Amino acid sequence: MPTVSPHPSLSALADAFGDRLLTSVSPELPALAATVFDGDPRVPAALARPRTTAEVSDAVRAARDAGLPYTVRSGGHSYARSSVLDGGLVLDLRLMDGIRVDRDTRIGHAQGGATAGAYTGAAGEHGLATGFGDTGSVGIAGLTLGGGIGFLSRRDGLTLDNLAGAEVVLGDGRVVETGPDQEPDLFWALRGGGAGLGVVTRLDLRLQETRDVVGGMLAWRPDPHVLSDVVAAIAAAPDDLSGMVNVMLAPPAPFLPADLHGKPVIMALVCWSGAPRDADDVLAPLRAHAPLVDLVEAKPYPAMFGGGPDTAGLRGATATGFTDVPDAAAAAVMIDAVRTATAPQALVNLRIMGGEIARTGVEETAFAHRDQAVMTTIAGMTSEPDQEADVRAWVSEASARIAVDRGPAYVNFLSGAAPADLARAFPGRTGERLRAVHAQYGSVGANA
Protein backbone atom coordinates (compact mmCIF):
# COMPACT_ATOMS: atom_id res chain seq x y z
CA MET A 1 0.00 0.00 0.00
CA PRO A 2 1.27 3.49 -0.76
CA THR A 3 1.75 5.92 2.07
CA VAL A 4 -1.30 8.19 2.20
CA SER A 5 -0.50 11.62 0.83
CA PRO A 6 -1.15 14.75 2.87
CA HIS A 7 -3.07 16.27 -0.08
CA PRO A 8 -6.72 15.08 -0.17
CA SER A 9 -6.84 15.08 -3.96
CA LEU A 10 -3.67 13.01 -4.06
CA SER A 11 -5.20 10.58 -1.56
CA ALA A 12 -8.01 10.03 -4.06
CA LEU A 13 -5.38 9.47 -6.73
CA ALA A 14 -3.62 6.98 -4.43
CA ASP A 15 -6.87 5.01 -4.16
CA ALA A 16 -7.04 4.77 -7.96
CA PHE A 17 -3.32 4.24 -8.63
CA GLY A 18 -2.53 1.88 -5.73
CA ASP A 19 1.19 1.22 -5.53
CA ARG A 20 1.71 3.33 -8.68
CA LEU A 21 1.40 6.49 -6.56
CA LEU A 22 4.46 7.00 -4.39
CA THR A 23 4.96 9.71 -1.82
CA SER A 24 8.10 11.36 -0.51
CA VAL A 25 8.47 8.67 2.16
CA SER A 26 7.95 5.64 -0.11
CA PRO A 27 11.12 3.51 -0.06
CA GLU A 28 10.95 3.07 -3.87
CA LEU A 29 10.79 6.83 -4.52
CA PRO A 30 14.52 7.68 -4.66
CA ALA A 31 15.24 5.09 -7.36
CA LEU A 32 12.19 6.06 -9.45
CA ALA A 33 12.80 9.80 -9.06
CA ALA A 34 16.44 9.50 -10.13
CA THR A 35 17.31 10.93 -13.54
CA VAL A 36 20.41 10.52 -15.68
CA PHE A 37 22.05 13.57 -14.14
CA ASP A 38 22.45 14.13 -10.45
CA GLY A 39 22.87 17.36 -8.57
CA ASP A 40 21.22 19.25 -5.76
CA PRO A 41 18.90 16.91 -3.85
CA ARG A 42 15.30 17.00 -5.15
CA VAL A 43 12.58 15.04 -3.37
CA PRO A 44 9.21 15.09 -5.12
CA ALA A 45 6.13 15.23 -2.88
CA ALA A 46 4.74 12.38 -4.98
CA LEU A 47 5.41 10.38 -8.11
CA ALA A 48 2.53 8.95 -10.16
CA ARG A 49 2.93 6.17 -12.72
CA PRO A 50 -0.09 6.36 -15.06
CA ARG A 51 -0.85 3.60 -17.54
CA THR A 52 -3.44 5.39 -19.67
CA THR A 53 -4.24 8.82 -21.01
CA ALA A 54 -7.28 8.93 -18.69
CA GLU A 55 -4.99 8.33 -15.71
CA VAL A 56 -2.66 11.12 -16.88
CA SER A 57 -5.68 13.40 -17.01
CA ASP A 58 -6.72 12.34 -13.47
CA ALA A 59 -3.20 12.98 -12.18
CA VAL A 60 -3.04 16.41 -13.80
CA ARG A 61 -6.41 17.36 -12.28
CA ALA A 62 -5.34 16.03 -8.86
CA ALA A 63 -2.14 18.10 -8.98
CA ARG A 64 -4.12 21.18 -9.96
CA ASP A 65 -6.66 20.64 -7.15
CA ALA A 66 -3.82 20.12 -4.65
CA GLY A 67 -2.13 23.30 -5.88
CA LEU A 68 0.94 21.20 -6.55
CA PRO A 69 3.37 21.99 -9.36
CA TYR A 70 4.13 18.99 -11.51
CA THR A 71 6.49 17.85 -14.18
CA VAL A 72 6.69 14.98 -16.65
CA ARG A 73 9.36 12.30 -16.71
CA SER A 74 9.89 10.09 -19.71
CA GLY A 75 13.49 9.10 -20.56
CA GLY A 76 14.97 11.23 -17.73
CA HIS A 77 17.84 12.62 -19.87
CA SER A 78 17.19 16.33 -19.34
CA TYR A 79 20.50 18.11 -18.75
CA ALA A 80 18.52 20.81 -16.89
CA ARG A 81 16.97 18.04 -14.71
CA SER A 82 13.56 19.44 -15.52
CA SER A 83 11.88 16.04 -15.15
CA VAL A 84 12.36 15.95 -11.37
CA LEU A 85 10.78 18.51 -9.11
CA ASP A 86 11.47 19.17 -5.44
CA GLY A 87 8.19 19.17 -3.51
CA GLY A 88 6.03 18.67 -6.63
CA LEU A 89 4.37 15.78 -8.43
CA VAL A 90 6.37 13.82 -10.99
CA LEU A 91 4.27 12.20 -13.69
CA ASP A 92 6.43 9.23 -14.58
CA LEU A 93 5.33 8.01 -18.03
CA ARG A 94 7.64 5.01 -18.25
CA LEU A 95 4.73 2.54 -17.99
CA MET A 96 3.28 4.21 -21.12
CA ASP A 97 5.94 2.96 -23.50
CA GLY A 98 3.80 1.33 -26.21
CA ILE A 99 4.96 1.50 -29.83
CA ARG A 100 2.94 0.59 -32.95
CA VAL A 101 4.41 0.67 -36.43
CA ASP A 102 1.86 1.14 -39.20
CA ARG A 103 3.51 0.00 -42.44
CA ASP A 104 0.63 1.15 -44.62
CA THR A 105 0.50 4.75 -43.45
CA ARG A 106 4.25 4.86 -42.70
CA ILE A 107 3.48 6.29 -39.27
CA GLY A 108 4.95 5.09 -35.99
CA HIS A 109 2.77 5.65 -32.92
CA ALA A 110 4.71 6.00 -29.67
CA GLN A 111 3.24 6.54 -26.22
CA GLY A 112 4.68 9.43 -24.23
CA GLY A 113 7.10 7.28 -22.23
CA ALA A 114 8.67 5.31 -25.12
CA THR A 115 12.40 5.47 -25.79
CA ALA A 116 14.22 6.11 -29.06
CA GLY A 117 15.98 2.74 -28.90
CA ALA A 118 12.83 0.67 -28.42
CA TYR A 119 11.04 2.50 -31.26
CA THR A 120 14.04 2.22 -33.59
CA GLY A 121 14.21 -1.53 -32.95
CA ALA A 122 10.48 -1.98 -33.62
CA ALA A 123 10.55 0.13 -36.80
CA GLY A 124 13.75 -1.56 -37.97
CA GLU A 125 11.92 -4.90 -38.11
CA HIS A 126 9.95 -3.38 -41.01
CA GLY A 127 12.98 -1.75 -42.66
CA LEU A 128 11.68 1.67 -41.52
CA ALA A 129 13.04 4.40 -39.30
CA THR A 130 12.27 7.77 -37.79
CA GLY A 131 15.42 9.73 -37.06
CA PHE A 132 16.07 10.48 -33.40
CA GLY A 133 19.42 11.26 -31.76
CA ASP A 134 22.37 8.99 -31.08
CA THR A 135 21.32 7.30 -27.82
CA GLY A 136 18.70 4.59 -27.39
CA SER A 137 17.69 5.42 -23.81
CA VAL A 138 16.61 9.01 -24.59
CA GLY A 139 12.84 9.55 -24.35
CA ILE A 140 11.11 10.23 -27.67
CA ALA A 141 8.82 12.86 -26.15
CA GLY A 142 11.52 14.99 -24.51
CA LEU A 143 13.70 14.71 -27.60
CA THR A 144 10.96 15.62 -30.09
CA LEU A 145 9.55 18.52 -28.09
CA GLY A 146 12.94 20.27 -28.21
CA GLY A 147 14.12 19.16 -31.65
CA GLY A 148 15.92 15.84 -32.11
CA ILE A 149 19.18 15.86 -34.06
CA GLY A 150 20.92 12.62 -34.96
CA PHE A 151 21.91 10.02 -37.52
CA LEU A 152 19.23 10.84 -40.14
CA SER A 153 18.76 14.60 -39.64
CA ARG A 154 20.43 15.85 -42.80
CA ARG A 155 18.32 13.38 -44.83
CA ASP A 156 14.94 13.62 -43.04
CA GLY A 157 15.14 16.78 -40.92
CA LEU A 158 14.95 16.98 -37.15
CA THR A 159 12.72 14.54 -35.28
CA LEU A 160 10.18 17.33 -34.82
CA ASP A 161 9.96 17.70 -38.62
CA ASN A 162 8.62 14.15 -38.72
CA LEU A 163 5.93 14.70 -36.11
CA ALA A 164 2.59 14.21 -37.88
CA GLY A 165 0.33 14.55 -34.84
CA ALA A 166 0.07 14.05 -31.10
CA GLU A 167 -2.34 13.48 -28.24
CA VAL A 168 -1.88 15.95 -25.39
CA VAL A 169 -3.34 16.27 -21.91
CA LEU A 170 -3.59 20.00 -21.18
CA GLY A 171 -3.09 21.66 -17.80
CA ASP A 172 -6.83 21.51 -17.02
CA GLY A 173 -6.91 17.75 -17.71
CA ARG A 174 -8.58 18.05 -21.14
CA VAL A 175 -7.33 15.63 -23.80
CA VAL A 176 -6.76 17.13 -27.26
CA GLU A 177 -5.57 15.81 -30.60
CA THR A 178 -3.15 18.10 -32.40
CA GLY A 179 -1.74 18.12 -35.91
CA PRO A 180 -1.45 20.45 -38.91
CA ASP A 181 -5.25 20.92 -38.98
CA GLN A 182 -6.09 20.41 -35.30
CA GLU A 183 -5.01 22.92 -32.65
CA PRO A 184 -2.40 24.23 -35.14
CA ASP A 185 -0.84 26.74 -32.73
CA LEU A 186 -0.26 24.00 -30.17
CA PHE A 187 1.16 21.77 -32.92
CA TRP A 188 3.53 24.56 -33.99
CA ALA A 189 4.77 24.99 -30.40
CA LEU A 190 5.19 21.28 -29.69
CA ARG A 191 7.66 21.10 -32.59
CA GLY A 192 10.72 22.61 -30.94
CA GLY A 193 9.19 24.76 -28.20
CA GLY A 194 10.39 22.45 -25.47
CA ALA A 195 8.41 21.01 -22.59
CA GLY A 196 5.71 22.79 -20.60
CA LEU A 197 2.63 22.71 -22.82
CA GLY A 198 0.83 19.71 -21.38
CA VAL A 199 1.59 16.02 -21.21
CA VAL A 200 2.17 14.40 -24.59
CA THR A 201 0.65 10.94 -24.30
CA ARG A 202 1.07 9.85 -27.95
CA LEU A 203 3.32 10.95 -30.79
CA ASP A 204 2.65 10.04 -34.43
CA LEU A 205 5.92 10.06 -36.35
CA ARG A 206 6.63 9.68 -40.06
CA LEU A 207 8.73 6.66 -41.02
CA GLN A 208 11.15 6.41 -43.93
CA GLU A 209 12.48 3.33 -45.71
CA THR A 210 15.84 2.69 -43.99
CA ARG A 211 17.50 -0.71 -44.16
CA ASP A 212 21.28 -1.16 -44.04
CA VAL A 213 23.31 1.97 -43.43
CA VAL A 214 27.08 2.40 -43.52
CA GLY A 215 28.07 3.94 -40.23
CA GLY A 216 30.15 3.96 -37.12
CA MET A 217 33.14 5.69 -35.59
CA LEU A 218 36.37 7.10 -36.98
CA ALA A 219 39.12 8.53 -34.74
CA TRP A 220 42.18 10.68 -35.30
CA ARG A 221 44.95 12.25 -33.25
CA PRO A 222 44.07 15.83 -32.17
CA ASP A 223 45.21 17.77 -35.23
CA PRO A 224 43.31 21.07 -35.80
CA HIS A 225 43.53 20.71 -39.60
CA VAL A 226 41.96 17.26 -39.40
CA LEU A 227 39.17 18.51 -37.15
CA SER A 228 38.44 21.40 -39.48
CA ASP A 229 38.55 19.26 -42.63
CA VAL A 230 36.40 16.45 -41.20
CA VAL A 231 33.63 18.82 -40.10
CA ALA A 232 33.80 20.60 -43.48
CA ALA A 233 33.66 17.28 -45.35
CA ILE A 234 30.48 16.20 -43.54
CA ALA A 235 28.92 19.62 -44.16
CA ALA A 236 29.72 19.33 -47.89
CA ALA A 237 28.58 15.71 -48.26
CA PRO A 238 25.24 14.66 -49.76
CA ASP A 239 22.30 14.83 -47.34
CA ASP A 240 22.30 11.06 -46.84
CA LEU A 241 25.38 11.54 -44.67
CA SER A 242 24.66 12.76 -41.16
CA GLY A 243 27.34 12.98 -38.55
CA MET A 244 28.89 14.56 -35.51
CA VAL A 245 32.47 15.07 -34.48
CA ASN A 246 33.67 15.02 -30.88
CA VAL A 247 36.88 16.36 -29.48
CA MET A 248 37.06 14.48 -26.22
CA LEU A 249 39.31 13.00 -23.60
CA ALA A 250 39.93 9.52 -24.97
CA PRO A 251 38.40 6.78 -22.85
CA PRO A 252 40.68 3.81 -21.95
CA ALA A 253 39.20 1.79 -24.82
CA PRO A 254 41.25 -1.06 -26.27
CA PHE A 255 40.73 0.20 -29.84
CA LEU A 256 42.56 3.47 -29.03
CA PRO A 257 46.36 3.66 -28.63
CA ALA A 258 47.27 3.62 -24.92
CA ASP A 259 49.30 6.86 -25.24
CA LEU A 260 46.06 8.69 -26.11
CA HIS A 261 44.03 7.51 -23.10
CA GLY A 262 42.94 10.54 -21.08
CA LYS A 263 44.22 12.90 -23.81
CA PRO A 264 42.24 14.73 -26.52
CA VAL A 265 41.17 12.67 -29.50
CA ILE A 266 38.94 13.48 -32.47
CA MET A 267 36.09 11.01 -32.84
CA ALA A 268 33.48 11.22 -35.60
CA LEU A 269 30.24 9.25 -35.63
CA VAL A 270 28.81 9.07 -39.13
CA CYS A 271 25.81 7.42 -40.76
CA TRP A 272 25.44 7.06 -44.53
CA SER A 273 21.87 6.10 -45.35
CA GLY A 274 22.16 6.37 -49.14
CA ALA A 275 23.04 3.51 -51.49
CA PRO A 276 25.72 1.37 -49.75
CA ARG A 277 27.79 1.22 -52.96
CA ASP A 278 28.36 5.02 -52.74
CA ALA A 279 29.59 4.99 -49.14
CA ASP A 280 33.30 4.68 -49.94
CA ASP A 281 33.24 7.71 -52.26
CA VAL A 282 31.34 9.82 -49.75
CA LEU A 283 33.62 8.85 -46.87
CA ALA A 284 36.86 9.22 -48.85
CA PRO A 285 37.53 12.83 -47.67
CA LEU A 286 37.34 11.63 -44.05
CA ARG A 287 39.49 8.57 -44.64
CA ALA A 288 42.05 10.71 -46.51
CA HIS A 289 43.24 11.86 -43.07
CA ALA A 290 44.38 8.34 -42.15
CA PRO A 291 42.17 7.63 -39.14
CA LEU A 292 43.70 5.73 -36.22
CA VAL A 293 40.47 3.82 -35.89
CA ASP A 294 37.89 3.08 -38.55
CA LEU A 295 34.88 1.15 -37.30
CA VAL A 296 32.57 2.30 -40.10
CA GLU A 297 30.76 -0.65 -41.67
CA ALA A 298 27.45 -1.74 -43.17
CA LYS A 299 24.88 -2.56 -40.50
CA PRO A 300 21.12 -2.49 -39.93
CA TYR A 301 20.14 1.04 -38.90
CA PRO A 302 19.10 0.07 -35.32
CA ALA A 303 22.68 -1.11 -34.69
CA MET A 304 23.77 2.55 -34.80
CA PHE A 305 22.22 2.98 -31.37
CA GLY A 306 24.11 1.98 -28.26
CA GLY A 307 22.06 1.47 -25.11
CA GLY A 308 22.75 4.53 -22.99
CA PRO A 309 22.22 5.28 -19.34
CA ASP A 310 18.94 5.23 -17.40
CA THR A 311 20.55 6.87 -14.43
CA ALA A 312 24.23 7.66 -14.42
CA GLY A 313 24.80 9.56 -11.18
CA LEU A 314 26.75 12.10 -13.23
CA ARG A 315 27.17 15.72 -12.22
CA GLY A 316 28.41 18.58 -14.31
CA ALA A 317 27.22 20.98 -16.92
CA THR A 318 26.77 21.63 -20.61
CA ALA A 319 27.14 24.82 -22.60
CA THR A 320 25.67 24.97 -26.06
CA GLY A 321 25.40 27.28 -29.02
CA PHE A 322 26.05 27.37 -32.74
CA THR A 323 29.30 28.03 -34.58
CA ASP A 324 30.62 28.07 -38.12
CA VAL A 325 32.50 25.08 -39.47
CA PRO A 326 35.72 25.66 -37.48
CA ASP A 327 38.79 26.74 -39.41
CA ALA A 328 42.13 25.39 -38.16
CA ALA A 329 42.53 28.24 -35.64
CA ALA A 330 39.08 27.68 -34.13
CA ALA A 331 39.69 23.93 -34.13
CA ALA A 332 42.95 24.46 -32.21
CA VAL A 333 41.04 26.38 -29.52
CA MET A 334 38.58 23.47 -29.19
CA ILE A 335 41.35 20.91 -28.87
CA ASP A 336 43.21 23.03 -26.35
CA ALA A 337 40.03 23.50 -24.30
CA VAL A 338 39.67 19.73 -23.99
CA ARG A 339 43.39 19.32 -23.25
CA THR A 340 43.04 21.63 -20.23
CA ALA A 341 39.82 20.03 -18.95
CA THR A 342 39.50 19.42 -15.23
CA ALA A 343 36.58 17.05 -15.84
CA PRO A 344 37.13 13.28 -16.10
CA GLN A 345 34.63 13.28 -18.96
CA ALA A 346 35.06 16.31 -21.20
CA LEU A 347 34.03 16.91 -24.77
CA VAL A 348 33.27 19.42 -27.46
CA ASN A 349 30.52 17.97 -29.64
CA LEU A 350 30.02 19.34 -33.16
CA ARG A 351 26.76 18.37 -34.89
CA ILE A 352 26.67 19.31 -38.52
CA MET A 353 23.40 20.92 -39.55
CA GLY A 354 22.27 21.65 -43.13
CA GLY A 355 20.55 19.27 -45.54
CA GLU A 356 16.85 18.76 -44.83
CA ILE A 357 17.11 20.61 -41.48
CA ALA A 358 17.70 23.84 -43.40
CA ARG A 359 14.87 23.34 -45.92
CA THR A 360 12.06 24.14 -43.47
CA GLY A 361 11.43 27.83 -42.82
CA VAL A 362 12.80 29.25 -39.57
CA GLU A 363 9.30 30.28 -38.44
CA GLU A 364 7.45 27.15 -39.55
CA THR A 365 8.12 25.40 -36.24
CA ALA A 366 9.31 26.57 -32.82
CA PHE A 367 12.89 25.42 -33.58
CA ALA A 368 14.46 28.73 -34.63
CA HIS A 369 18.00 27.71 -35.56
CA ARG A 370 17.72 26.05 -38.96
CA ASP A 371 20.10 28.38 -40.74
CA GLN A 372 23.01 27.57 -38.41
CA ALA A 373 26.02 25.56 -39.61
CA VAL A 374 27.19 23.58 -36.58
CA MET A 375 25.52 22.90 -33.23
CA THR A 376 28.44 23.06 -30.81
CA THR A 377 28.09 21.75 -27.27
CA ILE A 378 30.59 21.47 -24.45
CA ALA A 379 29.96 18.89 -21.75
CA GLY A 380 31.91 18.19 -18.58
CA MET A 381 30.85 15.35 -16.32
CA THR A 382 32.06 13.61 -13.18
CA SER A 383 30.65 11.00 -10.85
CA GLU A 384 32.47 12.58 -7.88
CA PRO A 385 30.31 15.23 -6.16
CA ASP A 386 33.38 17.06 -4.82
CA GLN A 387 34.67 17.60 -8.40
CA GLU A 388 31.44 19.22 -9.59
CA ALA A 389 32.47 22.83 -8.95
CA ASP A 390 35.74 22.38 -10.87
CA VAL A 391 33.94 20.71 -13.76
CA ARG A 392 31.41 23.54 -13.96
CA ALA A 393 34.21 26.11 -13.89
CA TRP A 394 35.90 24.34 -16.82
CA VAL A 395 32.68 24.24 -18.86
CA SER A 396 32.13 27.92 -18.23
CA GLU A 397 35.69 28.85 -19.21
CA ALA A 398 35.68 26.62 -22.31
CA SER A 399 32.30 27.97 -23.42
CA ALA A 400 33.63 31.53 -23.34
CA ARG A 401 36.72 30.51 -25.37
CA ILE A 402 34.62 28.70 -27.97
CA ALA A 403 31.94 31.42 -27.87
CA VAL A 404 28.98 29.18 -27.09
CA ASP A 405 28.14 31.06 -23.89
CA ARG A 406 25.90 33.46 -25.81
CA GLY A 407 23.66 33.65 -28.88
CA PRO A 408 21.18 31.07 -30.13
CA ALA A 409 21.02 27.69 -28.38
CA TYR A 410 19.31 24.30 -28.74
CA VAL A 411 16.96 23.90 -25.77
CA ASN A 412 17.65 20.15 -25.33
CA PHE A 413 21.37 20.69 -24.71
CA LEU A 414 20.99 23.54 -22.21
CA SER A 415 21.75 22.65 -18.62
CA GLY A 416 19.62 25.46 -17.25
CA ALA A 417 16.08 26.68 -17.74
CA ALA A 418 16.44 30.26 -16.47
CA PRO A 419 14.76 33.02 -18.52
CA ALA A 420 18.13 33.94 -20.06
CA ASP A 421 18.60 30.33 -21.26
CA LEU A 422 15.11 30.19 -22.73
CA ALA A 423 15.62 33.54 -24.48
CA ARG A 424 18.59 31.99 -26.30
CA ALA A 425 16.55 28.90 -27.28
CA PHE A 426 13.51 30.88 -28.41
CA PRO A 427 14.68 34.22 -29.77
CA GLY A 428 12.69 36.99 -31.42
CA ARG A 429 9.43 36.11 -33.12
CA THR A 430 9.70 32.45 -32.12
CA GLY A 431 9.77 33.47 -28.45
CA GLU A 432 6.86 35.89 -28.92
CA ARG A 433 4.70 33.26 -30.60
CA LEU A 434 5.65 30.60 -28.04
CA ARG A 435 4.66 32.90 -25.17
CA ALA A 436 1.31 33.51 -26.89
CA VAL A 437 0.70 29.76 -27.21
CA HIS A 438 1.56 29.28 -23.53
CA ALA A 439 -0.88 32.06 -22.66
CA GLN A 440 -3.57 30.34 -24.76
CA TYR A 441 -3.07 26.76 -23.54
CA GLY A 442 -1.51 27.31 -20.09
CA SER A 443 1.96 26.33 -19.00
CA VAL A 444 2.69 23.24 -16.95
CA GLY A 445 5.81 21.63 -15.60
CA ALA A 446 8.97 22.48 -13.78
CA ASN A 447 9.77 25.34 -16.12
CA ALA A 448 6.29 26.84 -16.23
Ligand X SMILES: Cc1cc2nc3c(=O)[nH]c(=O)nc-3n(C[C@H](O)[C@H](O)[C@H](O)COP(=O)(O)OP(=O)(O)OC[C@H]3O[C@@H](n4cnc5c(N)ncnc54)[C@H](O)[C@@H]3O)c2cc1C
Question: What is the binding site for ligand X (CB under 6 A)?
Answer: 35-36, 71-79, 82-83, 93, 112, 133-135, 138-139, 141-143, 145-150, 195, 199-200, 308, 412, 445
**Which phi and psi (to 5°) does residue 417 adopt?**
-130, 30
Q: How far is the CB of 447 from ligand X (least distance, A)?
A: 6
In terms of DSSP bridges, do strands 293-294 and 212-220 run parallel, antiparallel, or are they unpaired?
antiparallel
SS3 259: helix
Here the contacts of 177-182 (C-beta below 8 Å, separation 24 or greater) are 179/204
Q: How far is the CB of 90 from ligand X (least distance, A)?
A: 9
Q: How far is the CB of 201 from ligand X (least distance, A)?
A: 7
Q: How far is the CB of 109 from ligand X (least distance, A)?
A: 13
SS3 110: strand
Closest to ligand X by CB, 161 vs 229, is 161
Closest to ligand X by CB, 321 vs 445, is 445
For residues 304 and 308, what is the distance between their CA atoms, to the nearest angstrom?
A: 12
**Which phi and psi (to 5°) does residue 100 adopt?**
-130, 125
Closest to ligand X by CB, 74 vs 162, is 74
For residues 99 and 119, what is the distance between their CA atoms, to the nearest angstrom?
A: 6
Closest to ligand X by CB, 141 vs 224, is 141
For residues 408 and 415, what is the distance between their CA atoms, to the nearest angstrom?
A: 14
CB 291 within 8 A of CB 216: no
SS3 402: helix
Closest to ligand X by CB, 221 vs 369, is 369
Q: How far is the CB of 199 from ligand X (least distance, A)?
A: 5
For residues 62 and 397, what is the distance between their CA atoms, to the nearest angstrom?
A: 44
Closest to ligand X by CB, 69 vs 445, is 445
Of 156, 170, 196, 126, the residue nearest 366 (C-alpha): 196
Cα distances (Å, whole numbers) of residue 359 to 82, 161, 425: 31, 10, 20
Closest to ligand X by CB, 57 vs 74, is 74
DSSP states along 269-325: EEEE-S-GGGHHHHHHHHHTT--SEE--EEEEGGGG-B---S---BEEEEEEEEEPP
Which contiguous run of DSSP H or E holds residue 208? strand 208-209
Q: How far is the CB of 18 from ligand X (least distance, A)?
A: 22
Q: How far is the CB of 381 from ligand X (least distance, A)?
A: 10
Largest CA distance in the chain: 67
- Measured torsion, CA atoms of residues 193, 198, 199, 203, in degrees rounded to the nearest 10: -50
Closest to ligand X by CB, 75 vs 222, is 75
Q: How far is the CB of 71 from ligand X (least distance, A)?
A: 5
Q: How far is the CB of 259 from ligand X (least distance, A)?
A: 28
Closest to ligand X by CB, 288 vs 418, is 418
